[in-house]
Amino acid sequence: MKIICIGRNYTEHIEELNNERPEEPVVFLKPDSALLKNNDPFYFPAFTNELHHEVELVIKISREGKNIQPKFAHKYYEEVGLGIDFTARDLQQKAKEKGLPWEKAKAFNHSAPVSGFVDKKLFSNLQNISFSLEKNGKSVQQGNTSLMLFPIDELIAHVSQFFTLKKGDLLFTGTPKGTGPVQIGDRLTGKLEGQEMFDFEIK
Ligand code: ZN
């Protein structure tokens, strides 16, 4: 399986990083070795001094497809979850300055913790669901999918022009404002419409 991630999909997060508003979705990949599941702890890597959390709605692809039209995109996923796109912001900043790829900053081992997945039918409108991240019990990020620049079905249409989507692939849909640092000893709890989805420690 592969993990497809979208950058800069929420206006306020673009502003906090002084990034340009994209004309088309910003896309990058993480390998399957980036996955972290079952609330397993995350071990702080030695190569960064600035590890940031980015909480994101995650879509699980349910069938193979490519060149999917936006109006058919909803047929390609049944379940949604919540995840973190861990980012070594110091490495990313260096890469950005030099125009180099982001993989070392974003696609390292266990950089993609994900929750279990729930039926999308639990939500009357997927483009209006709230999600949040707590660090040590204090809210640090709150988002709502209504604020996405590119909605889920447009993201699927866009990425499927380049990558054949396969059953079990995951799509990280971008982070809202409030990304910030984590440290050893922190505990991260993610909620979707107030329902706890993940809860794990940084070790
Ligand atoms: Zn992200």
**Does residue 42 surpass a pLDDT of 90?**
yes
Side-chain half-sphere of 200: how many Cα atoms within 13 Å?
22
Q: How far is the CA of 52 from the centre of ligand 1 (A)?
A: 10
Kindly report, residue by residue over 130-173, the tens digit of the pLDDT.
999 999 999 999 999 999 999 999 999 999 999 999 999 999 99
Per DSSP bridges, beta strands 35-36 and 187-192 are: unpaired
- Given a cut of 80, whether residue 199 has pLDDT beyond it is yes
Domain at 3-201, CATH class: alpha beta
CA–centroid distance, 5 to ligand 1, in Å, is 7
Kindly list the protein residues that place their beta carbon closer than 5 angstroms to ligand 1, a single-atom ion.
54, 85, 175
Cα of 48 from ligand 1 centre, angstroms: 17
Q: Domain boundaries in the chain?
A: 3-201
Distance of CA 152 from the midpoint of ligand 1 (Å):
14
User: Per residue in 46-56, pLDDT tens?
Assistant: 999 999 999 99
CA of residue 175 to ligand 1 center, whole Å = 5
The pLDDT assigned to 16 comes to 75
User: What mean pLDDT is reported for the chain?
Assistant: 96
Provide the whole-model pTM: 0.96
111: its two tokens: 């950089």
pLDDT given for residue 112 in this prediction = 98
Give the rounded percent of residues in the chain with a pLDDT score beyond 70: 100
Give SS3 for 75.
helix
